Amino acid sequence: VYRIPCEAFPDFVVYAHLVLGAGPPTLVDTGSGYGQSNDHLREGFARLRSEFSERAGLADVRRVIITHGHVDHFGGLAFVLDHCQAEVAVHGLDRRVLVAYEERVVMATRALRAFLDLAGVPADVCQRLMAMYGFSKRHVHSTRVDRILSDGDVVDGMEVRHVPGHCPGQVVLVLGNVLLSADHVLARTSPHQAPESITAWMGLGHYLESLARLRGLEGIEMALGGHEEPITDLGRRIDQLEFGHRRKLDKVLGLIRESSEPPTIWELTGRMYPKAKGFHELLAVEEAGAHVEFLDQRGDLAVANLEEMESDSRPAVRYRAT
Ligand SMILES: [Zn+2]
Ligand SMILES: [Zn+2]
């Protein structure tokens, strides 16, 4: 397995992984296709030849597996398909993101907008966040998908595990003692969570269940995420991620309990992430929303302004602890 670093967006590196020796030359993820990402992919293949004497070039890739439908992982797919004859494989729940990207962006934008309204994000901030959201998607185009991956599939020795949460069709791949953990498990960052009210099969509940399922994997000596350095103790990393979310859930409950007025998700976001600016503000409100949703789904929260919610004024939801 070779890791090819690509700058997906300024100061944000994503890895494309080239797998050799498990069926045809297989590229797992393609970079973002934005900025220099495609150049970096090409340079990565050139270095395989010059530094590692591998003969496989980009033109020899015969299979592309997309770990999930986020642009930093599949935005470069159109470029890759221009340079090789490869089948494209993705989990069924992320298929439409690849084949009907324009539709997906329109519908996801609408769902995001509805979430931000219910979260109580002020109109001017909402406009700014929506503009940023749209910008990050503009360079991507729809492509084809040839093969649908399902949980438990074995593709030339690589075992597919479906781990929804960070993304609906998120998969990780088991290759002997190596796990390609994509954005499900990262070395330093807790993978971003968004509420499943925006997109089904996302949400913290699915994520934590998927995380727990990975505990059953035995003999993994190294996990390679879609970002950041390799993980040598997967079990410990899973513990840390789980603990981090439990702590965040406690924090949200605590903040709601000690509020003089039942807060909105946006008000909670300001207290949880006071320093978030720019694109991070959008990530922060989604992250807070995912934790509020988790607590609400499990009956730890209740809507404090139900009467107001019945009116036509489209108010934000205010939460109280039960
Ligand atoms: Zn992702
Ligand atoms: Zn990513």
Closest ligand to residue 72's CA? 2
| CB under 5 Å of ion ligand 1: residues | 70, 183
Cα of 72 from ligand 1 centre, angstroms: 7
214 touches 234 (CB < 8 A): yes
Cα of 141 from ligand 1 centre, angstroms: 18
Cα of 70 from ligand 2 centre, angstroms: 7
Q: What pLDDT score was predicted for residue 134?
A: 77
Cα of 70 from ligand 1 centre, angstroms: 5
**Radius of gyration, alpha carbons of the chain:** 20
Q: What pLDDT score was predicted for residue 136?
A: 66
Cα of 210 from ligand 1 centre, angstroms: 15
Round the average pLDDT of the chain to a whole number and report it: 96
pLDDT, one tens digit per residue, over 156-202 is 999 999 999 999 999 999 999 999 999 999 999 999 999 999 999 99
Q: What pLDDT score was predicted for residue 191?
A: 98
Mean pLDDT of 91-115: 95
Closest ligand to residue 68's CA? 1
pLDDT, one tens digit per residue, over 111-159 is 999 999 999 999 999 999 998 887 767 789 899 999 999 999 999 999 9
The answer, yes or no, to whether residue 41 has pLDDT greater than 80, is yes
Sign of CA dihedral 74, 75, 80, 85: positive
Higher pLDDT, 133 or 298: 298
Sequential DSSP letters for 219-277: S--EEEESSSS-BS-HHHHHHHHHHHHHHHHHHHHHHHHH-SSPPPHHHHHHHH-TT--
What interhelical angle do 265-272 and 234-258 show, nearest 10? 120
Cα of 51 from ligand 1 centre, angstroms: 30
Alpha-carbon span 22 to 26, nearest angstrom: 8
Q: How many CA atoms lie within 13 A of 245 on its CB side?
A: 29
Structure confidence at residue 278 as a pLDDT band (50, 70, 90): confident
pLDDT, one tens digit per residue, over 203-251 is 999 999 999 999 989 999 999 999 999 999 999 999 999 999 999 999 9
State if pTM tops 0.85.
yes
Quote the percentage of the chain above a pLDDT of 70. 99
